[in-house]
Amino acid sequence: MKCFVLKKKQVLFVVVLILTMILLSVNLGTTSAANVYFGYTTRKVPIYNVETEEKKVAITFDSAWGADKTLRILENLKEYGANATFFIVGFWAEEYPDMVKAIAEQGVEIGTHSNTHADFATLSKVQMEQELTTSIETIKNLTGKDVNLFRSPYGSYNNASMEVAESLGLKTIQWDVDTLDWKGLSGAEITNRVLSKVKNGSIILCHNNSDHILDALPLLLSALKNKGYTITSVGDLILQDNYYIDHAGVQRPNV
């Protein structure tokens, strides 16, 4: 009898817990606690990397401040037969229009990194849309090319930012390999860090004006090529259709 009473209490506890989670999900109006409990979620997730059997990675450069190293970056990419994606802030494009044109003329992909480098998790949907449409218009006027990719400043995003980006035909892109080049790491340290983390389908985060990016890039590109990797743009790496993004941000083909 004692064991039976104990089991009844355990069942009652679980029922109360589930009901509490359901009520929380209704009241919060965000990612459901019940969803998390049962192992699924309605939270939208950007693309962090891609599931692929190909030895292929994308290298990216966030461009918000400074441009004196950009042409050398382009020269390095060309020398090593690599492509890349530059995520450009609108005010950077306005300040350095010739750099934007040089990037596009080399066939290097350009995505938007917002217009003012604002934290999207703090903005309204109207503000988000203005940030994106303004930056896209600036880039398109300079290059004549459409913009299909978006990276949130600071990597900060939420469901609202994902929805606004999707409504504008943009895929939101994060990264799974952070060079930490902005921390002043040496070229060798940046290269070793990337090589310790990179895998098929990785998206590598760099910054166009970090202290030692020009020391790192020849070492990094050479090492990746020696390991058999093709170094390309995000647009070339990711799947364009018939895919899903799992809870960890891995873009996977539907099978």
Q: Per-residue b/e over 109-130, b at no fewer than 16 CB within 10 Å? A: bbbbbbbebbebeebeeeebeb
Express each pLDDT in 61-120 by its tens digit.
999 999 999 999 999 999 999 999 999 999 999 999 999 999 999 999 999 999 999 999
In this structure, the answer to whether residues 181 and 70 fall within a common structural domain is yes
In this structure, the answer to whether residues 205 and 170 fall within a common structural domain is yes
Report yes or no on 244 lying in a domain.
Answer: no
Give me the domain span that covers residue 105. Answer: 49-239
In this structure, the answer to whether residues 203 and 104 fall within a common structural domain is yes
Report yes or no on 248 lying in a domain.
Answer: no
In this structure, the answer to whether residues 27 and 70 fall within a common structural domain is no
What is the mean predicted confidence (pLDDT) over 179-188?
97
Q: What are phi and psi of 142, to 5 degrees?
A: -85, -30
What is the mean predicted confidence (pLDDT) over 156-165?
98
CB-based burial of residue 35 (10 Å sphere; 0-12 exposed, 13-18 middle, 19+ buried)? middle
Report yes or no on 184 lying in a domain.
Answer: yes
Report yes or no on 109 lying in a domain.
Answer: yes
Catalytic residue positions?
Answer: 62, 207
In this structure, the answer to whether residues 22 and 108 fall within a common structural domain is no
Q: What pLDDT shows up at residue 255?
A: 87
In this structure, the answer to whether residues 115 and 154 fall within a common structural domain is yes
Q: What pLDDT shows up at residue 9?
A: 53
Torsion angle (degrees, nearest 10) of CA 178, 181, 186, 189: 0
In this structure, the answer to whether residues 213 and 133 fall within a common structural domain is yes
CATH number at residue 172: 3.20.20.370
Name the 3-class secondary structure at 233: coil
Express each pLDDT in 219-249 by its tens digit.
999 999 999 999 999 999 999 999 999 999 9
In this structure, the answer to whether residues 58 and 133 fall within a common structural domain is yes
In this structure, the answer to whether residues 30 and 63 fall within a common structural domain is no
DSSP 91-149: HHHHH-HHHHHHHHHTT-EEEE--SS---GGGS-HHHHHHHHHHHHHHHHHHH-----E
**Identity of residue 152:** S
Number of domains, the chain: 2
CA 175/CA 190 separation, integer angstroms: 15
- pTM of the shown model: 0.84
In this structure, the answer to whether residues 94 and 207 fall within a common structural domain is yes
